[in-house]
Amino acid sequence: MKAIAVVGPSGSGKTTFLLRLIPELKSRGARVAVLKHCHEDVPLDKEGKDSWKFTKAGASRVGIVTPGRVVVFQETGTPDDIEGAVGRFFADADIVLVEGGKGVRGLKKISLVRKDIAERLEFAPEELLAVVSDDEVESAMPVFRFSEVDKIADLVMSSSGRSPEATLVVDGVEVPLNPFVESFIGNTVMGMVGSLRGTNLDPGDVVLHISRKGSRK
C-alpha cells in the first residue's frame, strides 16, 4: 500500500484533480481509497440520530451497516491522525490518496500549483513526487499539466511498489500462504506499522515475532 497526498493552497483544485485521477488509477486495476484532511471538525453524524446518541452516551466507535455500505464513526482523541487512519482503515488498498496532509512528514506529495494563486507550497525533494501546474514551474521532480492525468497515474502506479511479501512460520514450520492471504497479512501489518509514531509511513521491511511462551530472553 502506498499513501500519496495531493496538496495545494485553497482553490487550487485538489478535489477536482482527485476526481479525475481516481478513475485513471482504477482503470489500471488499482484499489484506490481516499482520505480527506479537514482543518476543522466537520459534523458527519446528525444530532438526534441513534448513532449520534450512542456516541454521546460514551461509545468510542459506532457503526452503521446497510445493504452495500458500512459506515463507522470513531472518536480518536488525537487531532490530525492521518498516519493512524491510513494504517488502521485503508490497509487493503493499493493506493491511498490523501486530500491535504501537507504537514505530514514522510508522506509523498503531489503539489498543485496555479498561476493565479500566489501561494506555493515548498517541499523537500524526498517528499515531493510530482508537481501539477498550469504555469511554468522549475522543479527537480516531474512537472505535469492538469490535463496529463494519464501520465500522472502512470507515475503513481510505478511508485506504488509491489504488494508486500509475507512469510508465516508457526513453531518453526513455514505455513504456505495463498496470494490473497499473503497480500492481506502483508498489507495489514505494513499499514499498522506505518501508522505508529516514529516509523516510516511506507516501510520497506518489517519483522514481527509473536510468542505465547512468555518473554523472550
Tens digit of pLDDT for each residue in 120-147? 888 877 788 999 999 988 888 899 999 9
Provide the grid cell at 42: 466537520
Query: Which CATH architecture fits 2-159?
Result: 3-Layer(aba) Sandwich (3.40)
pLDDT higher at 41 or 103? 103
Torsion angle of C-alpha atoms 9, 14, 17, 23, degrees rounded to 10 = 160
Cell of 99: 486530500
65-105 tens-digit pLDDT:
989 988 888 877 666 567 777 777 787 888 999 998 887 77
Task: Give Dmax over CA atoms of the chain in angstroms.
Answer: 64
Q: In the predicted model, what is the mean pLDDT of residues 140-163?
A: 84
Sorted by sequence, the CB contacts under 8 Å of residue 33 that are 6+ apart come out as: 90, 93, 95, 96, 97
Three cell numbers written together for 29: 486495476
Give dist(CA 107, CA 200) in Å, integer.
Answer: 9
> Domains of the chain: which residue ranges?
2-159
- Rounded CA separation 5/17 (Å): 12
User: Phi-psi bin for 162: left (phi > 0), alpha (psi -120 to 50), beta?
Assistant: beta
pLDDT at 161 > cutoff 60: no
